[in-house]
């Protein structure tokens, strides 16, 4: 915005206000820093999970780091850091869109502290068996209330900023997605004695988050970034935003049915789930096509190549992980065999990474160099990180996928026992450890080049 990119290499001591339009945007820096640190921790725990599958570990060690506990840490850390990343993203982009400072910076910091302390308490709690037991939502009810408080503070703060400032399609979409996201969390809090009903609502959080609310947040953040780095007119980006989001909601909500096939719910869900979840691929394809066409049609000049790279990566990653990898097992005829196997885990990794990890990294790469006050930043670490992590996750997806197909065949087609399948799968988990380590290296390279490296190449200003 106001930097003269060509004249300085970097100046970290200059007043913050010169570096980004609104000084309150700086809150986002801390959200991003915590988020990426938790990502590194999540990967380390993932490697431990692969080791637990890949080798027979002495019981004394299993007693200290049991699979169930470390799995809960791995998945909850994933959700926590992605949400913190979205929140940081919101705190960064809302002032620019609304053209005013954040309503209350103090509240934003307090909210971060509450969420991080609750997260740490949850992790320590897991170590002592304090858990609700339901995968991904293991956080005990008491701590859930603190999360709700943090979420309400966030919505209030962002909502007030948006309402008091300029209103745009991007902020409207973002606020809609965030409110939807927060409301859904409430459905995962009560425990229903009837397990069919309990799982029914569990999916309202797990599925309707990633295939509903989070998609709205993604659309808003991607739109913001595309407007900034491509110089394409706002109206052009916004027009497609409505179309994509409408399609996402239409297919994603009914698509929840792909989790109701074997739950004790009425037969109709086989049809509803199969058809609508298969259609979910359409908005995802639309997003990829739209990203390319918009920039080409408008003759856009890409101002920040790194951010553009990650934005396109997000669209393509979304398409591979959610679109292709999701479609493969979404029809009931196939899901009957693959349900709950490592095929599911394979899809879970590629989809989460391709859509939401990359989305967060896109925003981080846009905002952090500016927040650090760099007029130019080093790009090599960003590209290395992109490819090392991307290929590692594809590797993980592949080996989990092979393990899953073996498991499906041995257990569900040949009707042999669990351990017979595990024996055949072990080799593939040993390879997963390798990809876990390369992923860790990619994440550390990213962390270093994002937060620590100096150097000059790409003007931050694009
Ligand atoms: C970015 C979006 C998505 C993410 C992050 C995601 C992630 C996940 C995760 C983590 C699970 C495992 C849940 C569990 O059982 O613990 C799952 C299950 C599933 N996903 Fe996705 N998913 C996404 C989009 C999609 C789409 C678009 C489709 C279909 C086209 C799809 C189809 C499925 C199916 C059928 C299952 C159930 C597998 C089973 O029966 O075990 N997903 N997804
Ligand atoms: C991009 C980073 C990662 C993401 C987004 C991610 C995501 C996930 C998700 C969503 C699940 C739950 C899957 C389900 O319910 O079906 C999971 C479980 C798991 N993850 Fe990761 N993970 C990551 C990194 C890793 C790494 C590096 C490893 C190991 C090398 C790993 C190994 C595992 C294992 C073994 C499980 C348990 C699968 C099971 O229950 O059988 N993850 N992860
Ligand atoms: Fe789903």
Condensed to tens digits (0 to 9), the pLDDT of residues 126-150 reads 999 999 989 999 999 999 999 999 9
User: What is the Cα–Cα distance from 164 to 177, expressed in whole angstroms?
Assistant: 19
347 CA from centroid of ligand 2 (Å): 10
d(CA 370, CA 368): 5
Distance 41 CA to ligand 1 centre (A): 23
As a whole number, mean pLDDT of residues 64-72 equals: 96
User: Which pLDDT score is estimated for 374?
Assistant: 85
Q: Which residues contact ligand 1 via a Cβ below 6 A?
A: 135, 206, 210-211, 258-259, 277, 280-281, 322, 326-327, 329-330, 335, 339-340, 344, 347-348, 351-352, 355
pLDDT at residue number 282: 93
Q: Assign 105 a pLDDT band (cuts: 50, 70, 90).
A: very high
| pLDDT score recorded for residue 371 | 94
Mean pLDDT of 24-30: 97
What is residue 339's predicted lDDT score, i.e. its pLDDT?
98
CA of 46 to the centre of ligand 2 (A): 6
Q: Which of 200, 211, 247, 336 to mutate to test the pocket of ligand 1 (most atoms within 8 A of CB)?
A: 211
Cα(211) to ligand 3 centroid in Å equals 6
pLDDT at site 436: 98
- Calculate how far, in angstroms, residue 207's C-alpha sits from the geometric centre of ligand 3: 4
Confidence (pLDDT) at 319? 96
**What is the percentage of the chain residues whose pLDDT exceeds 90?**
84
Give the least confident one: 82-96, 280-294, 408-422: 280-294
- Ligand 3: distance of its center to the CA of 102 in Å? 34
CB 274 within 8 A of CB 327: no
Angle of helix 380-407 relative to helix 418-451, nearest 10 degrees, comes to 170
Q: What band does 15 get if pLDDT is binned at 50, 70 and 90? A: very low
Half-sphere exposure in the Cβ direction for 51 (13 Å, CA): 15
10 — pLDDT class (breaks 50, 70, 90): very low
**CB of residue 123 inside a 6 A radius of ligand 2:** no
What is the rounded end-to-end Cα distance, in angstroms, of the chain? 8
Of 182-191, 232-241, 377-386, 440-449, which gets the smallest average pLDDT?
Answer: 232-241
CA of 267 to the centre of ligand 3 (A): 18
Ligand 1 atom having least distance to the Cα of 75:
10
Q: Which of 66-80, 222-236, 285-299, 431-445 has the lowest mean pLDDT?
A: 285-299
Using the predicted structure, report yes or no on whether residue 437 has a pLDDT greater than 90: yes
Q: How far is the CA of 345 from the centre of ligand 2 (A)?
A: 7
Residue to substitute in 135, 209, 348, 349 for testing ligand 2 pocket (most ligand atoms within 8 angstroms of CB): 349
Q: Is the pLDDT of residue 3 over 60?
A: no
The ligand that comes nearest to the alpha carbon of residue 359 is: 1
Q: What's residue 457's pLDDT? A: 66
User: Is the CB–ligand 2 distance for residue 251 below 6 Å?
Assistant: no
The larger pLDDT score, comparing residue 230 to residue 334, is at 334
CA 198, 69, 85, 163 dihedral sign is positive
Residue 414 backbone dihedrals phi, psi, to 5 degrees: -85, -10
Residue 164: pLDDT over 60: yes
Q: Residues with Cβ < 8 Å from 250, sequence gap 6 or more? A: none
Please tell me the residue having the least CA distance from ligand 1 atom 40. Answer: 339
| pLDDT in the model for residue 380 | 92
pLDDT of residue 290: 83
Q: Is 406 in the pocket of ligand 2 (CB under 6 A)?
A: no
**Mean pLDDT, the chain, integer:** 92
* pLDDT band with cut points at 50, 70 and 90 for residue 288: confident
Could you tell me the pLDDT band of residue 461, with boundaries at 50, 70 and 90?
low
pLDDT recorded at residue 345: 98
CB 435 within 8 A of CB 392: yes
Closest-lying ligand to the alpha carbon of 262?
A: 1
Q: What is the pLDDT of residue 19?
A: 65
pLDDT tens figures, 237-274: 888 888 889 999 999 999 999 999 999 999 999 999 99
Q: Given ligand 1 and candidates 351, 407, 411, which is best to mutate, with the most ligand atoms within 8 Å of its CB?
A: 351
Does pLDDT of 411 surpass 50?
yes
Cα 67 to chain centroid distance, Å, stands at 23
Instruction: Name which residue leads in pLDDT, 376 or 205.
Output: 205
């Amino acid at each position: 915005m106001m930097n003269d990119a060509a004249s300085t290499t970097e100046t970290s001591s200059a007043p913050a206000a010169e570096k980004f339009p609104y000084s309150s945007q700086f809150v986002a820096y801390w959200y991003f820093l915590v988020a990426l640190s938790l990502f590194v921790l999540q990967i380390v725990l993932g490697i431990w999970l692969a080791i637990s599958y890949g080798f027979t570990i002495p019981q004394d060690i299993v007693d200290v780091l049991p699979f169930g506990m470390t799995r809960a840490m791995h998945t909850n850390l994933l959700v926590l850091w992605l949400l913190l990343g979205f929140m940081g993203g919101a705190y960064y982009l809302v002032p620019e869109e609304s053209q005013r400072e954040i309503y209350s910076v103090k509240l934003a910091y307090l909210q971060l502290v509450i969420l991080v302390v609750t997260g740490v308490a949850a992790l320590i709690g897991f170590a002592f068996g304090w858990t609700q037991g339901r995968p991904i939502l293991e956080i005990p009810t008491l701590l859930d209330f603190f999360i709700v408080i943090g979420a309400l503070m966030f919505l209030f703060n962002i909502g007030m900023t948006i309402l008091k400032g300029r209103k745009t399609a991007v902020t409207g979409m973002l606020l809609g997605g965030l409110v939807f996201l927060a409301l859904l969390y409430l459905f995962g809090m009560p425990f229903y004695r009837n397990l069919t009903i309990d799982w029914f609502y569990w999916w309202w959080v797990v599925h309707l988050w990633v295939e509903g609310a989070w998609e709205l947040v993604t659309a808003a953040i991607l739109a913001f970034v595309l407007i900034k780095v491509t110089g394409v007119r706002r109206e052009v980006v916004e027009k497609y935003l409505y179309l994509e989001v409408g399609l996402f909601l239409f297919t994603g909500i009914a698509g929840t049915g792909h989790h109701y096939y074997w739950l004790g719910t009425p037969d109709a869900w086989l049809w509803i789930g199969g058809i609508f979840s298969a259609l979910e691929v359409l908005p995802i394809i639309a997003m990829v096509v739209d990203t390319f066409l918009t920039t080409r049609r408008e003759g856009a000049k890409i101002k920040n190549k790194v951010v553009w790279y990650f934005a396109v990566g997000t669209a393509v990653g979304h398409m591979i992980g959610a679109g292709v990898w999701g479609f493969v097992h979404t029809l009931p005829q196939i899901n009957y065999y693959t349900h709950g196997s490592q095929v599911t885990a394979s899809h879970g990794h590629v989809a989460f990474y391709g859509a939401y990890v990359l989305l967060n990294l896109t925003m981080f790469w846009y905002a952090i160099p500016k927040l650090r006050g760099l007029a130019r930043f080093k790009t090599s670490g960003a590209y290395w990180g992109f490819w090392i992590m991307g290929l590692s996750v594809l590797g993980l997806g592949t080996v989990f996928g092979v393990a899953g197909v073996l498991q499906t065949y041995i257990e569900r087609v040949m009707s042999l026992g669990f351990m017979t399948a595990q024996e055949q799968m072990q080799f593939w988990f040993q390879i997963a450890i390798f990809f876990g380590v390369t992923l860790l290296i990619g994440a550390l390279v990213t962390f270093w080049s994002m937060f620590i490296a100096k150097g000059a190449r790409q003007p931050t200003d694009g």
